């Protein structure tokens, strides 16, 4: 959830770290801070607010330092206060820590440390870490040994970057939360995500759980921390990633979200560029297992619901989608005859990883669809397909959602031995999305957004493959415009929801050739009660008060119909003066329970 970046180098770190921190702000923006580490001091600057606001007040560019660790926060333990902002220090102000994740046993550790005489200034779980390291050093351990020793003492999902006054090293620890290393000629990075240093290097080391990174200005060493607390040096490969730097920059766009919506033509093309042999291997794996499950959270779960329709219609294959946070209630269904396809943009979603780890223990096969190579999910999977769409910075999933559907579609066609047909359909879809995102179409949708911006509730209805599309559209409206939006299968309106329809209540109705008669009948039920109908449809109908035309795309309607909903949610947020890239209370990657 939080963003962390540390840099140690041969050059001044301040501007580099500030830039990296801004590229991580999508992970949290309640508060932020930096620790400048020198041989004689640690200078901490932190406060509540977004990075630019805090920097304007405190000036992160001074004093100059070659070693800086920093943090942008999404609050978990403790309120949004200056004291609770990271970095945190030990009693002697010699050790500084930034942290992403949750330390589940922090209360018992804190009690132990208080009994040892340690004084705490915050309500956070994180603050136990510098004090715990201090306590280990007090016992005679060196800095590196002390950091290694705490790994077996803390429980939960964590990523840590640690520095010490007078020591020209920074240390990174990964226990469940994301952590990557960037390697360059002028210094080394430890961060929670690649965009933090993509501007400076494309050379990356992926860190596994229970590994400790020790970075100096000219060297990176990685150790596995063993069960007995000892460390074992690990030889790590340095990967050169092919992400385009511009993908992580806003450029001339007002927000990342609109940039990423407009990138979906390329996203379809890039996600379609899958190795044929690997796709067919996925298909063969599916055929070999008795029970097939999709696993996802948020938008990825909605993609899995679309996938259920695709597998049913195209491949005549039964699949059960499971919401990752609810997986524990289905665990009795999972065994060595089960195959799990886990879907995750980040590859770091806590609920998804916990479910996958359980499934592996009982012998299930794990395949995954993920956007970030080297993420935790790729290590936990038997095999995986990459979305290939580059970094997605906006908190609301757009291009990765489309990429997930594209890959699920390709797997469906591979299962039915019609892969070339599937690829041709996706090539056609690229042209459709190009036209749907054209400037004149965006202007039309922007006008409808102005009508909707002051509404208290919006309903979205669809049938068949457009029902999960309605769910995704409603999620987009909720998360960035803060309007109550709810999705329903059209046929469910008369089972209770019609009681909420009154004069002026807007309903977005998703129409396609397959479901047109039944869904338009549902639209009439709303219209009769004086609701306002916004039709997203291949054809006009007199019942529509507003009309957004989308071409009929068959199975690909799940993508063509979601594009106007993404644009609508974006323009509603902008017309309300909201920042769609940083919705309140939300963060991009959910790495905690």
Catalytic residue among 46, 165, 399, 588: 588
Sole residue written with tokens 């012998």: 363
Q: What is the dihedral of CA 229, 235, 240, 246, to 10 degrees?
A: 10
**Does residue 212 contact residue 172 with C-beta atoms inside 8 Å?**
yes
Sole residue written with tokens 């002051």: 454
Catalytic residue among 2, 32, 91, 147: 2
Asked if 553 is an active-site residue, the reply is: no
Exposed/middle/buried for residue 82 (C-beta within 10 Å: 0-12, 13-18, 19+): middle
Could you tell me which of 272, 290, 274, 271 has the C-alpha nearest to residue 282? 274
Q: Which H or E element spans position 519?
A: helix 516-528
**Using CA atoms, how far apart are residues 132 and 9, in angstroms rounded to an integer?**
27
Sole residue written with tokens 């960037």: 182
Instruction: Bin 457: left if φ > 0, else alpha if -120 < ψ < 50, else beta.
Output: beta
Asked if 110 is an active-site residue, the reply is: no
* Number of other residues whose CB lies within 10 A of the CB of residue 52: 12
Sole residue written with tokens 């770190």: 13
**Does residue 321 contact residue 305 with C-beta atoms inside 8 Å?**
yes
Cα distances (Å, whole numbers) of residue 71 to 35, 96, 196, 378, 504:
9, 12, 11, 25, 45
**Using CA atoms, how far apart are residues 138 and 91, in angstroms rounded to an integer?**
12
The per-residue DSSP string of 417-476 comes to T-HHHHHHHHHHHHHHHHHHTSHHHHHHHHHHHHHHTT-SEEEEEE-TTHHHHHHHHHHH
Sole residue written with tokens 């995750």: 344
**Does residue 430 contact residue 556 with C-beta atoms inside 8 Å?**
no
Decide the pairing of beta strands 67-73 and 88-89. unpaired
Within 288-340, residue ranges assigned H as helices are 299-314
Q: Which H or E element spans position 116?
A: none
Write out the catalytic residue numbers: 2, 588
């Amino acid at each position: 959830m939080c963003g962390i970046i540390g840099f140690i180098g041969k050059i001044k770190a301040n501007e580099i770290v500030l830039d990296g921190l801004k590229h991580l702000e999508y992970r949290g923006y309640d508060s932020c801070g930096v620790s400048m580490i020198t041989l004689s001091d640690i200078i901490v600057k932190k406060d509540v607010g977004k990075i630019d606001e805090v920097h304007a007040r405190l000036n992160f560019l001074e004093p100059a330092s070659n070693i800086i660790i920093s943090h942008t926060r999404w609050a978990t333990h403790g309120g949004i206060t200056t004291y609770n902002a990271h970095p945190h220090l030990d009693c002697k102000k010699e050790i500084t820590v930034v942290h992403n994740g949750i330390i589940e046993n922090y209360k018992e550790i804190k009690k132990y440390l208080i009994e040892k005489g340690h004084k705490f200034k915050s309500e956070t779980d994180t603050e136990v870490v510098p004090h715990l390291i201090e306590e280990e050093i007090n016992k005679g351990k060196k800095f590196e040994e002390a950091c290694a020793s705490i790994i077996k003492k803390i429980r939960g999902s964590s990523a840590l970057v640690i520095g010490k006054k007078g020591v020209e090293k920074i240390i990174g620890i990964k226990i469940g939360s994301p952590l990557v290393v960037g390697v360059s000629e002028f210094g080394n990075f430890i961060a929670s995500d690649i965009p933090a240093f993509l501007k400076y290097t494309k050379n990356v080391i992926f860190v596994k759980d229970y590994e400790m990174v020790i970075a100096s200005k000219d060297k990176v060493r990685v150790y596995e921390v063993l069960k007995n607390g000892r460390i074992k040096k690990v030889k790590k490969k340095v990967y050169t990633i092919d992400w385009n730097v511009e993908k992580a920059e806003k450029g001339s766009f007002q927000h990342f979200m609109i940039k990423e919506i407009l990138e979906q033509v390329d996203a379809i093309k890039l996600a379609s560029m899958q190795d044929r042999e690997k796709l067919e291997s996925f298909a063969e794996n599916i055929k070999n297992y008795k029970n097939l499950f999709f696993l996802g959270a948020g938008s990825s779960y909605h993609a899995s619901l679309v996938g259920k329709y695709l597998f049913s219609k195209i491949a005549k294959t039964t699949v059960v989608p499971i919401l990752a946070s609810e997986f524990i209630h289905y665990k009795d269904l999972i065994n060595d005859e089960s195959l799990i396809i886990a879907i995750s943009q980040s590859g770091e979603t806590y609920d998804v990883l916990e479910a996958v780890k359980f499934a592996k223990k009982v012998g299930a096969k794990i395949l995954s669809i993920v956007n970030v190579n080297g993420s935790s999910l790729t290590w936990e999977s038997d095999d995986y397909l990459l979305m290939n769409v580059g970094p997605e910075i906006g908190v609301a999933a757009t291009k990765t959602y489309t990429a997930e559907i594209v890959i699920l579609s390709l797997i469906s066609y591979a299962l039915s031995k019609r892969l070339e047909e599937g690829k041709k359909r996706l090539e056609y879809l690229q042209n459709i999305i190009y036209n749907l995102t054209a400037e004149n179409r965006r202007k039309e949708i922007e006008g409808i957004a102005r009508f909707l911006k002051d509404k208290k509730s919006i309903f979205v209805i669809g049938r068949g493959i457009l029902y999960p599309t309605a769910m995704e559209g409603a999620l987009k409206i909720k998360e960035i415009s803060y309007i109550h939006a709810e999705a329903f299968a059209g046929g469910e309106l008369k089972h209770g929801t019609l009681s909420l329809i009154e004069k002026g209540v807007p309903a977005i109705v998703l129409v396609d050739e397959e479901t047109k008669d039944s869904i338009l009948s549902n639209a009439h039920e709303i219209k009769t009660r004086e609701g306002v109908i916004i039709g997203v449809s291949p054809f006009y109908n007199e019942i529509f008060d507003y009309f957004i035309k989308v071409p009929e795309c068959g199975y690909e309607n799940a993508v063509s119909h979601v594009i106007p909903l993404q644009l609508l949610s974006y323009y509603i947020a902008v017309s309300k003066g909201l920042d769609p890239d940083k919705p309140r209370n939300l963060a991009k990657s959910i790495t905690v329970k």
